[in-house]
Chains A and B, each alone.
Chain A
Amino acid sequence: MTTSPSSAVRTFPLAPTPRSRWRVARLIMWPTIAFVALLVLPWVVYPPIAMDIAAWALFAMSIDLLLGFGGVLSFGHAAYWGSSAYLTGWVAVNTGVPFPVAILIGALGAMVLAVPIGMLSVRRSGIYFAMVTLAFGQMIYFIANQLSVITGGENGLQGVPKTFFGIEAVEKESFFFYYAAIPIVVLGALAAWRIVHSPFGRVLSGIRDNPERVRALGYDVERYKLIAFVLSAGLAGLAGGVYAVSHGFVSLQEVDWTTSGKVVLMTVLGGIGTLWGGPIGAAIIVLLEDYLASAGFEGIGIVTGLIFIVCVVLFRKGILGTILAFVDRARTGGRGMPRFGRADRLAAPDSVTATNTAHDEEGNHAPR
C-alpha cells in the first residue's frame, strides 16, 4: 500500500516543467498559508467547529487526490472516513491507547478496506467509477448497520475518549485537544501534497490526461489507480478518525452516502485539481451548516444543493481554481498554459470532442 515509486517511475519521460523561482514560491506558499490558517483557526471559531473544518479539509483533499490528479471521482468515500471513525472509536473505547494511535489504526483499517473495493472499482473508469464506488459505499453502510456489536447500529458508538498520556487539558478541553490533534491533519495534508508532487503523482496525472499513452509507456494503469485509491482512503481515514475522537461518538451518518456527497461538494466548491481548494470548500460548508443549524433552518440540503448547482453550472473552476486562473492570467498576460489539467480539461469547451469520443468508445448507447 505504501509502495514507494519504483526506479522505473523516476525515468518517466514527461519532463517536469522548469522550476522557476516563482514556481517554487508557489509550491511552498499554499502549504504555508494552510498551515498558518489551521494554527489560528480555534482562536477565530469555536474549537470543535475548527476541528470539524480541519477534518473535512483533509477529507476533501483525499477526494481531490483522486479526482483532480487521478481523474476519477469516488462517490463512496464515506466508507473510509466512516469505517476509520468506527475502528478508531472502537479501539479508543476498548484499549485505552492514546487517541493518535487509535486514529492511525483506524486509517490503516480504512486502507485495508479500500484494497478489495479499489480492485473492483478501478476496473471501470469515468462515470462508472463514481457509480460503483457509491454502490460499494452503500454496502459498507449496510454492513455497519448490521455489525451493531462494534458500531452500535442505530444508536451509534458512544463515549469515545480523548485519551492523551493523562494530559487533562487535552482530554477535557476542546481548545487544547485541537492542538493535540492538528498535527495528524497537517501530516495527512503534507502526505497528499507530497504524493501529488512525486513521480508517482506525475504518472497519476498522466493517467488522468491520457490513460492509453501511459499504458503504452509500460505503466500498469490499474495498479497506479489502485494505489492512489488506497492512499486516498488512508487520508480519508485519518480525517474520519480525528472527527470521531473530536465528537466523542460515531453514528451511521459517517458512512452514509450523503457524507460522500458533502465532501465532493467541498472539493468542487474549492476547486478540482487545486489540492488546497478542498480545505477552503470545507471551511465554507462547515461554517454554513453550523450557522444554518443554529438558526434553526431545517432545509440544509436546499442550500448545499443550490451551491452545488450554481458551482457546477457557472463556477466549475471553484474558488481556488478561479483565483489561480486569475493570478496566472495577470502574470502571463493571458499567454500562459492552463495549469490545472483536470479542472480545465473538464471545463474547456473543446472537451466536447473528447466527450463525444469517449461516448462512442464506451459504446452500447444504442437502445436495443
Chain B
Amino acid sequence: MDAFIQYTAQGLAAGGFYALAALGLAVIFGALNVVNFAHGAFYMLGAVLTAVLLDVAGINFWVALVLVPVILFGFGIIIERLLVQWLLGLDNLYSFLLTFGISLVLVDVIKIRYGVSGLPYGQPPGLEGLIRIGAVQLPVYQVFVFVFSVLVCLGVWLLLAKTRVGVIVRAATEEPERARALGINVGLWVTPVFGFGVALAGIAGVLAAPFRAITATMGSSFIIILFAIVVIGGLGSILGSVVAGFLVGLVEAYGQGYASTFSQIIIFVLMAVVILVRPAGLFGRKESA
C-alpha cells in the first residue's frame, strides 16, 4: 500500500508536466490547426535553459519558473512569424513536417553546444526533503509539481473560459469568419497563442529539470508520449489532454513500479485500447472520415 501511494505520487508529478505540455499542444492545435512536433524540443529547451541560467547567471529555480516561459513565449512568436504562418492555410501535414524539421535542428544545436551527457541540476531551494503523510514519505518536490501543474491548468482554463481574451481566442478558433465579421482581427491572436503554447512546454521543461536527466534528446521520446496522450484524450480538447496527461503519468509510474519490463509499452497499449473503444479519444468529438 505504501508502495502504491509512492507510485501514485510519482505518477501525478510526472503527469503534471505531461498535462502541461499536452495542454500547450492542444491550445496550439485548437487555434492554429497545427500539430506541433517541436513541442518536445521546446520542452527540452525549457529544461536546458533552466540549467544554463543557473550555471551562467546564478538564476535559481523560482526565477527560472517565470523567466523561461517568457523567453520561450518570445521564441515561439519568432518561430510562428518566421516559419509556421506560411503554412497555416495548407493541409496540416505540412506544418507537422515543418515543426519536425525545427525539432531536428534544435536538438542537434543543443547537442553540439552542450554535449550528450546530461546537465546537472539540484533540488530547488525550499523544496528539498520529504513530506511525511501517515506511513509514507513523499519528496516535497513531487507534491509541488503536482499542485503547481494543476494550478497552471486551472489558470489556463479560467483564462480561456472566463476572460475577454479567452472569449476572443475561442471565437477566433471556432468561428473565424463570424469573429472577423464582428471586427476581431483573428490573425492577430494566432501568433500569441502559438507563443503561449510554447511557453507551456517551457514550464513543463522547468519543472522537469530537477528530476529528469537534462539532455538534448530528452524531448524526443517525450513528444511521442505527448502524441499518445492527445490521441487518448482527444486532440484539441483541453480537458482531455489534461486528464489523459495525468492518466498516462500514473500508468507509467505503476508500470515502472509493478512491471518494469513493460512500463514503456503500457502507454501504447492504453492508446490502442482507446482507439478501439473510442476512436476520437476520451474527450474528443466524433471525427469524420
Contact = CB atoms under 8 A, between A and B. Distances in A.
Nearest to A212: B289
Interface stretch (A10-18, A37-45, A100-108, A302-310): A302-310
A361 B280 CA distance: 12
Contacts, number: 191
Nearest to A124: B279
Interface string A345-368: 111010110111001011111111
B101 A126 contact: no
A120 B108 contact: no
A248 to B, nearest CB: 26
A165 to B, nearest CB: 40
Given A365-B173, A366-B170, A135 B224 contact: yes
B106 to A, nearest CB: 8
A305 B103 contact: yes
A134 interface: yes
A57 interface: no
The DSSP consensus for interface residues of chain A is: helix
A313 B288 CA distance: 28
B174 interface: yes
A131 interface: yes
A298 B166 CA distance: 44
Nearest to A125: B289
Nearest to B33: A359
Nearest to B216: A301
Interface string B13-51: 000000000000011011001010000000000000000
Interface stretch (B69-77, B129-137, B234-242): B234-242
A298 to B, nearest CB: 6
Interface string A115-137: 00000100111111011101110
Given A211-B289, A301-B107, A351-B91, A364 B280 contact: yes
B94 to A, nearest CB: 5
Nearest to B228: A135
B105 A302 contact: yes
Contacts of A361: 287-289
B91 A346 contact: yes
A319 interface: no
Given A298-B111, A301-B107, A313 B35 contact: no
B104 interface: yes
Contacts of B107: 301
A366 B93 contact: no
B97 interface: yes
A132 B231 CA distance: 7
Given A298-B111, A365-B236, A124 B275 contact: yes
Contact of B102 (A305, A307, A351): A305
Given A268-B97, A364-B280, A368-B238, A123 B275 contact: yes
Interface residues of A, number: 61
Nearest to B271: A135
Contacts of B220: 257-258
A74 B220 CA distance: 18
Given A365-B30, A367-B173, A308 B104 contact: yes
Contacts of A313: 83, 86-87, 98
Contacts of B102: 305, 309
A308 to B, nearest CB: 3
Interface of B: 26-27, 29-30, 33, 35, 83, 86-87, 89-94, 96-98, 100-109, 111-112, 157, 160-161, 166, 169-170, 173-174, 176, 220-221, 224, 227-228, 230-231, 234-240, 261-262, 264-265, 268-269, 271-272, 275-276, 279-280, 283-289
Given A127-B96, A132-B271, A301-B107, 10 more contacts: A127-B235, A132-B227, A139-B268, A304-B104, A308-B104, A309-B83, A312-B98, A363-B284, A364-B280, A368-B237
12 contacts: A120-B275, A128-B231, A130-B96, A139-B269, A265-B101, A304-B101, A304-B104, A346-B90, A364-B284, A365-B173, A367-B27, A367-B170
